[in-house]
A and B are shown apart, each in its own frame.
Chain A
Amino acid sequence: MKRLPVLAFLVWVCALFYVGIFLFVGGFLLVRLEVNRTSTCEDVLLPSSAGSGSDFCHAQPRFRRAVVLIIDALKADFARYDPSNLSPRPYENKLPVLDELVASRPAHGRLFTFQADPPTTTMQRIKGFTTGSLPTFIDVGNNFASSAILEDNLIHQLGQAGKRVVFMGDDTWENLFPKKFHRSLPFPSFNVKDLHTVDNGILQHIYPTMKGDDWDVLIAHFLGVDHCGHRYGPDHPAMADKLTQMNGVIRSVVEHLQNDTLLVVMGDHGMTDTGDHGGESPKETEAALFLYSPSPLFPAPETKADPTVVPQTDLVPTLALLLGVPIPYSSVGQVLLPLFPLPGQAEGQGGGPDRAEALWINVKQVNRFLETYSSMAKDIPPDRLSELQAAFARVSAAYLSALHQGEPASPELIRSMQAYLSSVRDTCRASWARFHPVKMAAGLVLLAGACLLCYVLSELSSAVLAEGGVLRAPLVVGLCVAGCVAVAQLSSQGYVDVHWCLAAAAASSEVLFLWRNCRRSNRSSSSSQKGRVAPPRLLSAALVVLLLRCASLLSDSYVIAEGRAVTFLLCSLGLYVPLRLNWDGLLLPPPAPDSQKPPGALPGLPAWVVRREGAALCLSLCVLVGSLYLSLAMHACREEQGGTCQPSPFLSPLARVQDSRLRNMHYLLSVAALAGWTHLLYRWLRHYGNLNSPGVAVVAARWLLPGAAVLTGLHWAVGSAPEDAFRGLAELIRLAQSALPRAACAVLGLGAALLWLDPLTVFLKHRAPAGPHRAASAPPPPPSYRASIGISPQAELHHLIPQLYQRIRRSLEDGPAEGGAGEDGRPAVEAYGLGTVYSAPLLLFAGLLGLGLLLLHPESMAPAFLLLLLEAAALLHIHAACSTLYSQQGDYSKAFSVPWAPVVLWSLAATQFFHATGHLPTFPSLQWGAAFVGFPDGHTGTLLPATLVTLNTFSAHILFAVACPLLLFWPLVCEVRWNRSGRSGGGEESEDVIMEMRLRENPQQFSSALLQLAVRYLLVSGAQVLASVCAAAVLRRHLMVWQVFAPKLMFEASGFVVGSVCLLLGVTLILRVDMAVSGWFKRLLPDTSR
C-alpha cells in the first residue's frame, strides 16, 4: 500500500485549509495600531496665560495620594444597598458601608455604575482603565500570555511624575507593568479554586503600608469575589462571606484614609448568573465604581445632569488630573465632571483645574492623539476626521476667547467640549472595528478552492494514487511562487507579508493540481471511465443535510441553538437511512423467490441475513436516537437563550454540588459510565480475539486502560470531596489531587506509546504439526493461559483466520515451501485477532485518548462520554449494516469506498458532542477548570494550560477525527456476522471470512479508500468552516457579529485545525499498523514455510 503519498496528500490538503483560515482570520479580526508615544509634563496643554502655570506636573495637585481598591468582578448589583429588601440573596446588601458613606457624607462619596467595554476579561479591563483606550477583539486570546503594555498608561505617567506606586494583589498587573511599581506584592491569580490566597495576602500588607509613608498611589486588586463567582456562582453562601469580608476591608481602609487621599473602589467587570464573564451582556459589563475622600470630593450637590453610568475609559483622565499627572497619550476617555469644581469655585478646593480647564486639557490631549493616529493609520474615514477637526477648531476658538476675556466658560462651551470628546470616542469605536476585505476575500476563495480540491480528490483518489508523483509539481510550483512573491514584496515594500506569500503558494499549487487533473480527465474521458470525476448524484440526503447545516451557520438564531439544530439534523439523517433502504426494497428480504427465476442470478444475500442486518440496523438506530436524546440533557446554555434554557445539572463539578446525596448519585453515575467505557472497549477487543497476543499493545489494553480508569475514579473521589469535610487530611488530598491525574495521564501516555511501538494485536497459534516443526518463533502457550482469558470455543471459532496463511502462501508461491505444514488440508497457523488487526489498535488508541480527555472534564460529564461511545458504535453499525444491505445491489466492486452519508453523520456527531460535553462556541464558556487538572496550584508557563483547555474544548472533535478510519473497517469487521454463519449452513466457503485482510489483498484499493475517506471527512468539516467564514464575512456589520459569528468562526476554525491534526494522527496510526503487519508477514512466511 502507498503510505507516504496518502499522508502527503492529506497534509497538503490540510495545509491549504490552514492557509485559507489564516488569511481570512488575519483580515477579519480587528486590529488597532498602538501609538507608542507618551505624554510628558512638558506637553503644553494649558494655555500659558492660565493661572496654574505652564507645567502642570509641578503644580499643586488636588490629591496627593490615592488608594485604588479593585474588587474583581464587583458587579454593579453587589454594591447597591436596599434596606427594604428583608430576605436578600447571598450577593445582595452585603456592602452596606458604601451606602452609609454616601448617605452620611454626600459631598465626599458617590456610587456609580462602571461601564466596561467588552471583552470583559480581567486583563482587557486592566488595559482599558489604565490606558484609556478601547480594546480589540484579538486581545481576548492574550489573557493567557499577558504581556507588558507598551502604550502610554496611567502607571507609567505616575512613575514619570515621581509618584511611588505600590501594588498588591492579582499578578496580572505585574505581567502588564513589569518593573513599573515602586513596590509590588503579586499573588498568583490563575487558580480560580483558590478563594483566599490573594485576598489574605493583600490584607496582611495593606494596613501596614497605608500607615507607612513610602507610597503615593496604592493599588490593591482583590480576586476572591471573582473566584467565588467562577467556583460557586453568585448565588452561594460563599459569595455572601466574601462580600462581607470586602465590606470590612472598605470600612477599615476608609478609617485609615487621610485628608489628601482619594479612595477608588471598583470592579473591573460584572458576572453572569453562573459567575462567568467575558461577553458583552449587561450583567457582565456593569461593574461598580465608588469614589470617596475624607475631604469634600464633589464640589456641587448631585444633580439630574450628573452621570450615573461611567465608561471605564473615563477613569484614566479623571485620575490623572486629580493626581496632577498628564493624561496618557492614547486615552480617549473623558474627565468625570462632577469631581471638578465649577469655574470660579476652584479656589476653595485646594489645587487642580476647574471643570472647564480639565475639559480643555482633555480635549487637547484627545485631539493630539487623533492627529497622531490618523497620520499613522488610515482607518478613520477622512470625512469624519475633518468633521472632528472642525469641531475641535470651534471649541478651541470659543475656549480661548473666553479665557482672554477673563470670563468663566459658559455651560454651552462645556457641553460642546463634552460632545466633541464623546464623538471622538464613538468614531474610534466604529473605525477600530475595521476589516481587511482583500485578505478576507482571498481567504474565502482559498477555502472554497480547498473544498473543491477535496471533492475532486475524493472522486479521483484511486487514479491519483495510481499515477504517483502527482503532488510533486504543485508543491514545487507553490514554493517557487511563494519565493517570487516574497522577493517582489521585499523589493517593492521592504518587508515580507507572510499572508500573501502563503496565499500565493497555496493558490498556485491548488490551481496547478486542478488544472492537470482537468486536462487528464479530458484526455482519458474518451478512452476509459477511470480517472474521471463522476457526476455527483445531486440532492442526496447527506448532501441536503450538509447544506442545511452550512446554511444554519449563517443565521444567528441557529448558531445560538446549534446544539439542538445539529441533533435534529443528525436524527433526521439517521432516520432517513432505513426509510431509504426500504424505498430501495433492500431493508426486508425479497419476497419468496420466484420459481421461474434461476437461483443465483442476483448476488443476493440469504433472506435471514437480510432480516438480521435489518434488525441490527434498527437496533443501532434506536441506540443512536436514544443517545442523541439523552445527550440533549448535557447541554449548556448561552447567555442569549435567556431564561428558557436551563443549564445541565451535569455541568458543574461535583465539589459545587451541595446536596451530599445528589453528589454521591452523580459520582456513582460517573463511575458507572467510566466502567462502561472501559468495559465496552475491553469486551470488543476480547470478542475479536485481540487480547491474546504477546505484544505490548495488549498490555495497554489489559492493564493500562483499566488502570487509568481506576485512577480517574479515585481522582474524582478526591476532587469531589467537600473541602471542609476532611480538614486533617488536607495535605494528603492536595497531594492526591495533583498526583492522581498525573499518574492517570502517565499511564495513558504509556499505553499510547506502547501502541505506537508495536500496534499488532495478533496472536499466532501453531497447530500440532503433521510434519517436522520448528517451534522457534512463537511457542504454543500453556493451556492455562487460554483458559484464563476466558475465550469460549465459539469465540475461538469466530476469530481465527485459519486459511489466511495458506492463501498467502499460495499467492506468493515460494517454491521450496511445498512440503509445509498444511498438507492435511487444515491450516498450520491460526491467527487470533488478525481480522481486526487495523481497527483494534485504532479503537484502543481512541479509548485511551477518550479517557485522557474525560479526565479534563467535570466528573459528571462521564455519562456524556459513554453516550459518545454508544453513538459512535451505533453509527458504525448502521454504516456496516447499510453497506451489507446495499451489497445486494451488486456493486460490491467499490467495496471499501465509504459513501457520503456516514461521513456526514460522523462529522455532525463530532459537533453534536461538542455541545453534549457542555461546550458552547463562546469564549466565556471555555472550561478553564481543565487547566488545573493535575495542577491544583496553577501553572508557571502558558503553553501547558492552553493545551489542556484546547484539548478539553475540542475533545469531541478529537475523538471522532481520530476514530474516523474506523468507518472504513467496520463493514469488514461486521462481515463475519453473516458470512461465518453462512458457512455453517454449508453453502459458503470459509475463505470469505478474512475481514480486514481484504484490505491487505487489495493494497491499492485500501490506500485509495483511506485517502478518500479522510478527504471526505476533511471536506465535510471544511465546508462547515467555509460556511461560518462566509457568515462572518457577509454579516460583519451584523449586530451579533462579535457575540455570535466571530466566536463561532474562531471555534469552528480551531475545531477544524484540531480535528484535522487528529485525523492525520489516526491515519498515521493505520499506516503504522500496516507497516507492522507487513513486517509480521515477512517474518512469518520464511519461518513457517521452511
Chain B
Amino acid sequence: MWDTEIRGMASAHAIIASSIFMATILPAILLEKFSVYGSHLVWLYSVAGSVAVVNIAVFWLLGISPPTKRHTLSHKVSKLVRSCLYFLLSCLFFHTVVVLYGAPLLESALETFSLAVLLSTMTTLRCLCMLGPNVQAWIRVFSRDGAMSVWDTSLQITTGCSVLGAWLGAFPIPLDWDRPWQVWPISCTLGSTVGFLTGLLVAPVWIHWHRKQLIYKSK
C-alpha cells in the first residue's frame, strides 16, 4: 500500500514538474521574442497556469480531495466560490508580505502581484486541492504531527520549498553583478519555481526514506 501510494505521488509530481518544463518550452517555440527574462510575466503566467491546470486535473482524477458529505450542487458551487475567494485572498496576502519584506509599493506592483499569484499557485492552490477551503485544516497540516497521509507530507515539503526558494531568491538582488535575472522579481520567481521543483522531487524520496518513522493518525 505504501509503495503504490508513493509511486502514485511520484508520478503525479513528475507530471506537474514536466508541465512546468512544457510551460517554459512551448511558448519559446510558439511565440516570437519569448524569453524567461525578457518577457518574464508571460513565462510566469504560463507556468502558473499550467501548474494550476495540471494540479487540479491530477487531484481531481486521483480523488485526493476530502470526501464531501453532501453532494448537492449548491454545496459544490459554494465550495468553488469559496476556493476562488481563498485563492484571491492568498494572492493578496502574499503580495502584502512581499511588500512588507521590502518590495516597491507602487512601481512594479504588477510584477509583485504576479509573484504573489505564482506563489499562491504553488502553495495555496495545492492546499485547496487537497484539503478544500478549510483554513483550520491548512493550519493543522503545517505542524509536526499534523500530516495525516503521504499527500499531506508532500504538501508540507513542496510548500516549504517554494516559500524558501522565493525567500532565497531575494538574496542576489542587492549584489552589483548587473545580471538580467537580478531584476525584481525574476530571481524570486525563479527561486520559488526551483524550490517547487525541488520539493516535488524531494517529497517522494524523503517519504520513501522515512516511511518507517511516518505514522499517520486516521482522520
Contacts and interface: CB of A to CB of B under 8 A. Distances in A.
A588 B139 contact: yes
B102 A583 contact: no
Contacts of A588: 139
B181 interface: no
Contacts of A572: 101, 167
A585 interface: yes
A1016 to B, nearest CB: 26
A629 interface: yes
Interface string A604-643: 0000000000000000000001101100100000000000
B102 A567 contact: yes
Given A568-B102, A572-B167, A629-B100, A584 B144 contact: yes
A568 B168 CA distance: 11
B100 A628 contact: yes
A1064 interface: no
Given A564-B102, A567-B102, A628-B100, A557 B174 contact: yes
Give the bracket for the number of chain B residues in contact with chain A.
10 to 19
A688 B142 CA distance: 38
B98 to A, nearest CB: 11
Contacts of A556: 176
A585 B146 contact: yes
Contact of A583 (B100, B144, B175, B176): B144
B144 A585 contact: yes
Contacts, number: 43
B14 to A, nearest CB: 28
B170 A584 contact: no
A555 interface: yes
Interface centre among A565, A582, A588 (most CB of B within 10 A): A582
Given A568-B101, A571-B101, A557 B143 contact: no
Interface string A546-559: 00000000011110
Interface residues of A, number: 25
A628 B99 CA distance: 11
A557 B102 contact: no
Specify the main secondary structure of chain A where it touches its partner.
helix
B5 interface: no
A560 interface: yes
Given A583-B144, A584-B144, A585-B145, A557 B100 contact: no
Nearest to B105: A629
A743 interface: no
Contacts of B146: 585
A626 B139 CA distance: 23
A577 to B, nearest CB: 14
A558 B174 contact: yes
Contact of B102 (A555, A579, A626, A632): A632
A843 interface: no
A583 B142 contact: yes
A568 B102 CA distance: 7
Contacts of A626: 100
Given A572-B167, A625-B100, A565 B174 contact: yes
A560 B173 CA distance: 12
A557 B176 contact: yes
Interface string B157-171: 000000000010010
Interface string B125-143: 0000000000000010011
Contacts of A579: 142
A561 interface: yes
Given A628-B100, A629-B100, A632-B102, A561 B174 contact: yes
B174 A582 contact: no
A560 B174 contact: yes
Contacts of B144: 583-585
A565 B102 CA distance: 9
Contact of B143 (A565, A571, A585): A585
Nearest to B177: A557
Given A558-B174, A585-B144, 8 more contacts: A556-B176, A557-B174, A572-B167, A583-B142, A585-B143, A625-B100, A628-B100, A629-B100
Closest 7 CB pairs of A and B: A561-B174, A585-B143, A557-B175, A557-B174, A557-B176, A629-B100, A625-B100
Interface of B: 97, 99-102, 139, 142-146, 167, 170, 174-176
13 contacts: A558-B174, A558-B175, A561-B174, A567-B102, A571-B101, A582-B139, A582-B142, A585-B144, A585-B146, A587-B139, A625-B100, A626-B100, A628-B100
